[in-house]
Chain A
């Protein structure tokens, strides 16, 4: 099926995006990316205070991947903008996932600061993918601020609870003419498929893959789940009904 997702002028075939955190090793992460044929991955930036690092995570990400730096650790728009600029200056390219979190308990994103950062970075030419708390008005504000996609959470980060925000995500898909990428909270391939069946453009997961017993197989399963959901959406899913409707003909019964 010739069905590319177009973001920032780049064609993406695999609509499953993978975060690179929490893997037991960089090598395991690399295998997960390669086996699942993931094309878009996220990384983060952190301070280094000592000589503990001897591997560069970027060496384990296939060169064909689009690597998107996130702004995790940012507590407001200014910090997010700074992190994005540093990542770009360090050679990361211009894709950025805006993640602004000031709440330590639920890790819910701060939409107001996210919108501010989106506006600043979009004007600077970044391909801005803001992670946000699903809300139609804020999705419109992000679109108007220049976002390339909007990335509503399905459930709080790392909870694996699935599409708890399904109704609002459906509204955003219906109303916002941008790719909608569900990011955070997706714990199973079936939940990823469900997001795609709604008409979402892609799904981003990390914890559910990295902390699975077999992250490589799980990444493949997510990739297939996303593909299945996408195929179903494109094919046109039959409507739900409240009254039964026979699948077999209602004539020619072998009855006396």
Chain B
């Protein structure tokens, strides 16, 4: 199935969890990144959510900025 990841379509396995997706992306360190799922920012304990078709995921981090 396809989801929208950081603004782009991405094919992922059915029934994949957000945690597994982060592992695949290599950004599992939840202290560095956080996830917005269909408009809701998730806590670290909510990453076991199973993704659905056309879900919108943003993987975001705080960075230096002025």
Contact = CB atoms under 8 A, between A and B. Distances in A.
B65 A48 contact: no
A45 B32 CA distance: 12
Contact of B59 (A19, A21, A47, A157): A47
B52 to A, nearest CB: 21
Contacts of A59: 31
Interface in B10-39: 25-27, 29, 31-34, 36
Interface residues of B, number: 22
Contact of B63 (A43, A51, A54, A90): A43
Contacts of B62: 43-45, 56-58, 69, 87, 90, 92
A49 interface: yes
Contact of B33 (A23, A42, A53): A53
A223 interface: no
A198 interface: no
Interface residues of A, number: 39
A55 B64 contact: no
B60 A86 contact: yes
Nearest to A26: B64
Among the interface residues B6, B61, B63, B64, which one has the most CB atoms of the partner chain A within 10 A?
A: B64
A22 B64 contact: yes
A56 B64 contact: no
A51 to B, nearest CB: 3
Interface of A: 19-23, 26, 29, 42-51, 53-59, 69-70, 72, 86-87, 89-90, 92, 157, 184, 204-207, 210
Given A26-B64, A86-B36, 12 more contacts: A19-B66, A20-B65, A43-B64, A44-B63, A44-B65, A45-B63, A46-B60, A48-B59, A53-B61, A72-B65, A89-B41, A90-B41
Interface of B: 6-7, 25-27, 29, 31-34, 36, 40-41, 58-66
